[in-house]
Amino acid sequence: MVFYQNITHVVVYVVEMTGEGIGFGKAILFNEHFVVYGVPAIVSAIGQYTLARVNPSSSSDIILKDNRDATPSYKEDKSEQQKDSLNRILAKMGIDRNNAEIEIELGGNLYAASGIGASAASCVAIARALSQHYGLNLTDEEINDIAYEGEKGYHGTPSGIDNTASTYGGLIWFQKNDTNVMNKIRLSTPVEIVMGNTGKVANTTAAVAGVRERREKNPEKYQKIFDRAENIAYLAKRSLEEENFREIGKLMNENHKLLQQIEVSSRELDFLVNIARESGAYGAKLTGGGLGGNMLALTPGKDLQEEVANAIEKEGFKVLKTKIGVVREGII
């Protein structure tokens, strides 16, 4: 699909424009890792986002200023992946970085950490800001395609679930296929959650590769786990549509057990999951690539959200109090 072919002409006329764009953070409620193999997953945008600004620059090369708050060493550990990601985005959009003469600045209120969709949010935000700067008026579908290409720089072969949630917002049923299936799940109102940060920067590429290797060695064992994960997805979809949050919490707990069985949890994640459950969370599980990063606790109501967040903070971990089911209109 070529829809950027006239970009060199656009630059001449809009070089003084400032472009802005946002990308949501995300929380995977069900079936991270399983989604890579076509198992349905459920993901939601959260109330925090990355903001990208594109400004004219006198430098012939592109300057990227990353001003996001982040887990210690996150930005340093991801720096080479970030460069690869940006190059992929520029190539997809047909922008020559050697003649772009722009500066890209990243900010917003999404804490950059593993498991929260930070890379996807930055890809979506950058794509939107570049689209505005160059006057391209790209659709959400086109932004999502570009962001998916950018995600390859971070994750190798991403499922596409993160950039989809980051682009469209809301609560999404997602299934990876030749043509990805994406259906919105409607909630009457966004629901409170707590995300607890282990403080460990996760390598999602390594985690995905590990699952693939173990699955190839133990196909029968893994097929049973994957079959149950698929069953959980359909049960969770129905419970979300009915807004039966107690049942959703139970299914989250079971989903975490499956993720433990495919060896993508960690001691820190299990510790935070247990604290959340003991403090009254309806359910809790790891979220994202695992092996570090963040966990997710379902805590409907501000009082329960506060109680669970305080319990995690008392153990010395950072928390994010946010909501699932957030749409873009509620952010800007």
Condensed to tens digits (0 to 9), the pLDDT of residues 75-111 reads 999 999 999 999 999 999 999 888 888 999 999 999 9
- Give yes or no for residue 243 having a pLDDT over 70: yes
Q: Clarify whether residues 231 and 144 are in a common domain.
A: no
Q: Clarify whether residues 104 and 126 are in a common domain.
A: yes
* Contact criterion met (CB below 8 Å) for 157 and 289: no
Alpha carbon distance 155, 170 (integer Å): 23
- Indicate whether 46 belongs to any domain: yes
- Give yes or no for residue 329 having a pLDDT over 60: no
- Indicate whether 121 belongs to any domain: yes
CATH number for the domain spanning 237: value is 3.30.70.890
Q: Where residue 230 falls among pLDDT bands split at 50, 70, 90? A: very high
Q: Quick one: tokens of 182?
A: 């994406």
- Indicate whether 173 belongs to any domain: yes
Q: Clarify whether residues 219 and 255 are in a common domain.
A: yes
Active-site residue, selected from the candidate residues 69, 162, 178, 227: 162
Q: Where residue 53 falls among pLDDT bands split at 50, 70, 90? A: very high
- Indicate whether 1 belongs to any domain: no
Beta bridge partners of 26: 45
Decide the pairing of beta strands 191-197 and 294-298: antiparallel
Q: Count up the domains in the chain and report the number.
A: 2
- Indicate whether 142 belongs to any domain: yes
Task: Could you list the beta-strand ranges (E) of 94-203.
Answer: 102-108, 171-175, 181-185, 191-197
270 is catalytic: no
Q: Percent of the chain beyond pLDDT 70?
A: 93
- Indicate whether 254 belongs to any domain: yes
Q: Clarify whether residues 34 and 84 are in a common domain.
A: yes
Task: Give pLDDT, residue 328.
Answer: 60
Q: Quick one: tokens of 96?
A: 């020559």
Q: Clarify whether residues 52 and 177 are in a common domain.
A: yes
Alpha carbon distance 129, 35 (integer Å): 29
Beta bridge partners of 19: 54
**Which of 141, 166, 185 lies at the terminal end of a domain, its last residue?**
185
* Full domain range(s) for residue 155: 7-185
Predicted confidence (pLDDT) per residue in 11-33, tens digit? 333 345 789 999 999 999 999 99
Q: Percent of the chain beyond pLDDT 90?
A: 80
> What's the angle, vertex CA 182, arms to CA 40 and CA 30, rounded to 5?
35
**Which of 185, 213, 242 lies at the terminal end of a domain, its last residue?**
185
Q: What is the model's pTM?
A: 0.85
Q: Clarify whether residues 162 and 212 are in a common domain.
A: no
Q: Clarify whether residues 181 and 195 are in a common domain.
A: no
Alpha carbon distance 96, 153 (integer Å): 18
Q: Clarify whether residues 218 and 136 are in a common domain.
A: no
- Indicate whether 2 belongs to any domain: no
Q: Clarify whether residues 215 and 142 are in a common domain.
A: no
Q: Clarify whether residues 164 and 44 are in a common domain.
A: yes
Q: Clarify whether residues 30 and 178 are in a common domain.
A: yes
Task: Give pLDDT, residue 199.
Answer: 92
Q: Clarify whether residues 28 and 171 are in a common domain.
A: yes
**Any idea what DSSP says for residue 70?**
B
Q: Quick one: tokens of 15?
A: 């070089």
**Which of 143, 164, 185 lies at the terminal end of a domain, its last residue?**
185
Task: Give pLDDT, residue 92.
Answer: 97
- Give yes or no for residue 115 having a pLDDT over 90: no
CATH number for the domain spanning 92: value is 3.30.230.10
Query: What is the average pLDDT score of the chain?
Result: 91
Predicted confidence (pLDDT) per residue in 254-312, tens digit? 999 999 999 999 999 999 999 999 999 999 999 999 999 999 999 999 999 999 999 99
* Contact criterion met (CB below 8 Å) for 120 and 166: yes
